[in-house]
Amino acid sequence: MVAQSDHGDYYWLTEKERPQTMGRLSAFGGNAGVLLRAYVYARLLGREGMQRVAEYATLNANYMAAKMAKAGFDLAYPTRRATHEFIVTLKRQAKDLGVNAMDFAKRLLDLGYHAPTTYFPLLVPECLLIEPTESESKEELDGFINAMQQIATEAQHSPDTLKNAPHTMPVRRLDDVRAARELDLRWTPDAQ
């Protein structure tokens, strides 16, 4: 836990200062911290809050799905109502323009958006699984849709912009095949 001093500095609280704490969590504990955070969030929301969160997540997903369909994106299941997520297929763009779902996802990183899940479920070709959370504002949802429209336009006029993305990240696109065959699971400092 972090606290702020009278001078505006932040510091870690210790077990001595917070005797009721469960203490620090480390990687040794696995995903206990994630599970605990989810449990506390659910408890804080309560029954009514959980219902409200589900409604907002569903509303956000359906809003985005409708707007993206109007913007010319193909929904994998256009007749289904979205629950908390929906799937866009970029099969047409892959066939017509030579850009795939991974190209779109990597370009989203340049535009400030975390890339959605790609290629899942496996039965939908060139798919993006888009899952807006309950806490996203309408402006943020519209911003994502505008970013996808910008990328679709770029795909038509300069597909290499997508194929070489991301451009603004510290690490460029990795060679997926090489990465799978030659695992590099440790960090080594640059020689000076």
Quick: pLDDT tens for 117-176. Answer: 999 999 999 999 999 999 999 999 999 999 999 999 999 999 999 999 999 998 888 887
Residue 173: closest CA among 126, 103, 93, 100: 103
Residue 176: its H or E element: helix 176-181
Instruction: Give the three-state DSSP class for 39.
Output: helix
CA gap 112, 122 in Å, rounded:
26
CA gap 135, 131 in Å, rounded:
12
Instruction: Give the three-state DSSP class for 163.
Output: helix
Q: Which domains does the chain have, with CATH numbers?
A: 54-174 (3.90.1150.10)
32-36, 66-70, 92-96, 104-108: range with lowest mean pLDDT:
32-36
Radius of gyration of the chain (CA): 21
pLDDT tens for 37-87 read: 899 999 999 999 999 999 999 999 999 999 999 999 999 999 999 999 999
Residues 69, 75, 81, 83: what is their CA dihedral angle, to the nearest 10 degrees? -110
